[in-house]
Amino acid sequence: MRVAALLHTCIGEPRPQCHSSRHSCTRRPSSAGRNFPNILAHATPEVPIPTPHTGVAVIGAGILGTRHARVYDELTDARLVAVVDHDTARAASVAEPRKARAFGSTAEMLAAVGPAGTGEVTAVSVATPDHAHLEPVAACLRAGVDVFVEKPLAMALDEAKEMIALARVKSRVLMVNYSQRWLAEHRRIEALLTEGSLGTPAFVESHRWDAAWVPERMIGSWSDKTTPIHFMSSHDIDLIIHWLRDRVETVTAVAHYGALDAERSLPGRVDGYIATLRFSGGTVASLHSSWILPDTFPLAADSYLEVLGASGAIFLGGSTRELKLYTPGHSEKITFAGPATATEVNGRIEGAFTDSVRDFLGAVRTRELDRAASAARTLHVVEVQDAIMRAAASGEVIRIGVSGTP
Ligand SMILES: NC(=O)c1ccc[n+]([C@@H]2O[C@H](COP(=O)([O-])OP(=O)(O)OC[C@H]3O[C@@H](n4cnc5c(N)ncnc54)[C@H](O)[C@@H]3O)[C@@H](O)[C@H]2O)c1
């Protein structure tokens, strides 16, 4: 079992109390499990346990599709069978080193190795651009294949509902790669909120910044068909809804234009948004989401998050992974140092992304159609994104109804 490495410091104390991987400066080591027999001592590791393999195809062989392909290739309970991309040379460059087959379209792949072909592929990852998820997702669901789709689920609410309805009719798994739920620091915040350590959450603030070269060059061919709210803030909207276990009632938003146009010759491209979300329980969340940072900024992206509750507060730096926690009678600074989203560990990709893929494979194996990151259970993220777009376009307060679930 992997344990994320942590560095703890008591804020306000002259010297750090501890720098171990598991101990908090104010907590004793857990005694959980003390009365249980050591079953591991009797295990027979030399007897291999048979693992069912899920045959997988990856659709879209760009930056993220390459990562999906690599993770499936490295996991012992999956077998990468095929890679699909309109750019067949790109599909081949990802497939061939991993002894998988390359295809130029989803239809060809399904006919050859899907349920109607050899039957080797029973699940897919879809990592096509944000606006191009519906066609491959729908084709795979219709063919009886389980689907793991990159965020955002869709750019349009009706497309998201169409996919969810199809998955339900075909009894297939349809999950969204909300990998950030699995990040150690985010799991810590989730636990703190679930325990009620901050009291009732009053304010959440999320900042998500990308460098301007991301819309200009990294996704330059399709950045005009997405927005920072979809490409970057899908994770934050999902995290906040998931942590608060609440629904957004009203949304206001403003968009800014002109910076990318003036500096990068990207006419009409939105620079970013500021949106305010009011949850039904009273929490107010504000989102800043923009992609205009200059080339001198050392990272492709960075983020910042804060949660202020009635009796406590959390501040988290995205790239520093430094979490500051203040609750009544206690303050703590934790720097997370274990695998982040996709960290190379002993030649393999580990971290939140791999954990999210494992979660999908688990749902496929157990036929759990309703896992927490299923498209049906996360449709509210798309509803909020849709409301932000409508609020920014109209200048009006948008009220989200409760009848959104298809
Ligand atoms: N989970 C995360 O943290 C995360 C991070 C970055 C990007 N993403 C998402 O992953 C997706 C892919 O992003 P990317 O940066 O890899 O994009 P990319 O442009 O690098 O790759 C997309 C690939 O899809 C191919 N393609 C387009 N339409 C296709 C179709 N219908 N069938 C087959 N191939 C097709 C393109 O030729 C291209 O090779 C996007 O939805 C993006 O938002 C997720």
In tens, the pLDDT along 50-96 reads 557 999 999 999 999 999 999 999 999 999 999 999 999 999 999 99
Ligand 1, residues at Cβ distance < 6 Å: 59-65, 84-87, 90, 106, 127-130, 132, 135-136, 150-151, 177, 179, 219, 231
Distance 132 CA to ligand 1 centre (A): 8
Distance 101 CA to ligand 1 centre (A): 19
Distance 61 CA to ligand 1 centre (A): 7
Q: Ligand 1: which of 59, 71, 83, 86 to mutate, judged by most atoms within 8 Å of the beta carbon? A: 86
pLDDT of residue 268: 87
Which atom, in ligand 1's list, is nearest to the CA of 356?
A: 1
Distance 66 CA to ligand 1 centre (A): 9
| CA distances for 176 relative to 47, 150, 227, angstroms | 35, 6, 18
- The whole-angstrom separation of Cα 157 and Cα 404 is 9
Which atom, in ligand 1's list, is nearest to the CA of 64?
A: 16
Model confidence at 262, pLDDT cuts 50, 70, 90, reads: confident
- 17-21, 138-142, 291-295, 324-328: the lowest-pLDDT one: 17-21
Model confidence at 401, pLDDT cuts 50, 70, 90, reads: confident
- The whole-angstrom separation of Cα 305 and Cα 288 is 10
Please give the residue that has the higher pLDDT: either 343 or 25: 343
Kind of pairing between the strands at 78-84 and 54-59: parallel
- The whole-angstrom separation of Cα 330 and Cα 277 is 30
* Cβ-proximal residues to 41 (8 Å cutoff; 6+ apart), any chain: none
- Element (DSSP H or E) covering residue 176: strand 174-176
pLDDT of residue 265: 82
CATH numbers and ranges of domains, the chain: 54-178 (3.40.50.720), 180-343+369-399 (3.30.360.10)
Q: State which amino acid sits at residue 120.
A: E
Distance 60 CA to ligand 1 centre (A): 6
- Looking at residue 363, the DSSP 8-state letter turns out to be H
Distance 90 CA to ligand 1 centre (A): 12
Residue 271 contacts residue 257 (beta carbons within 8 Å): yes
Nearest CA owner, ligand 1 atom 38: 62
Residue 275 contacts residue 295 (beta carbons within 8 Å): no
Nearest CA owner, ligand 1 atom 9: 150
Model confidence at 49, pLDDT cuts 50, 70, 90, reads: low
| β-strand partners of 309 | 201
